[in-house]
Amino acid sequence: MNKLHTIASIFLLLSCSIFQKADLKDFKWKNRVLIINESKKEGLSSKIKKHHFKEFKDRDLVQIKVINNDVFLNEILTSNPMTQSILSIVKKELENYDMILIGKDGKIKHRYYFDDGVDIIFKDIDSMPMRIREMNE
């Protein structure tokens, strides 16, 4: 029972640090963010994360999905401030594109269509100067 309690406590602490994010700016200099418009293709973000978990972790890539006006981080609905922060930046972009990559500097780096595939996203990330530096360290 002690091990189960310890594991549950560790999971809660780790997940709380992600869910306490109140604004998209909270990811700045820590994570790259891939925002996926699931209003058009539901279930895509789960499929991508499941098949490319290692690649996401290696690139400090966090995935956020948008379904209509709801925003989810790790399958959990985000707080209203976080939702508004994300939608204010990407709402117009998601009208024309399906996925948006935000760099560690907090700026939109690339826009994608579902047909572009995940490999092109990884290739784009790996060509960024900060990522090249990370791979060399």
The tens place of each residue's pLDDT in the chain, 137 residues long, gives 555 555 544 444 444 444 455 678 889 999 999 999 988 777 778 788 888 999 999 999 999 999 988 999 988 899 888 999 899 888 888 889 999 999 999 999 999 998 898 999 999 999 999 999 999 98
Residue 92 identity (one-letter amino acid): K
pLDDT at residue 85 in the model: 87
At residue 64, the pLDDT reads 93
pTM, full prediction: 0.81
Concatenating the DSSP letter of every residue in the chain gives -HHHHHHHHHHHHHHHHHHT--SGGGGTTT-EEEEEETTTSTTHHHHHHHHSHHHHHHTTEEEEEEETTEEEETTEEPPHHHHHHHHHHHHHHHHH-SEEEE-TTSSEEEEE-GGG-HHHHHHHHHTSHHHHHHHH-
Q: Which of 35, 99, 104 is nearest to 70 (CA)?
A: 35
What per-residue confidence (pLDDT) applies to 49?
Answer: 80
What angle in degrees, to the nearest 10, is found between the helix axes of 118-126 and 129-136? 80
Of 87, 65, 67, residue with least CA distance to 75: 65
Q: Which residue in 116, 19, 132, 1 sits closest to 73, CA to CA?
A: 19
Whether 66 and 98 have beta carbons less than 8 Å apart is answered as no
Nearest to 135 by CA among 121, 125, 47: 125
Domains defined for the chain, CATH in brackets: 22-136 (3.40.30.10)
Query: For residue 4, what pLDDT is reported?
Result: 54
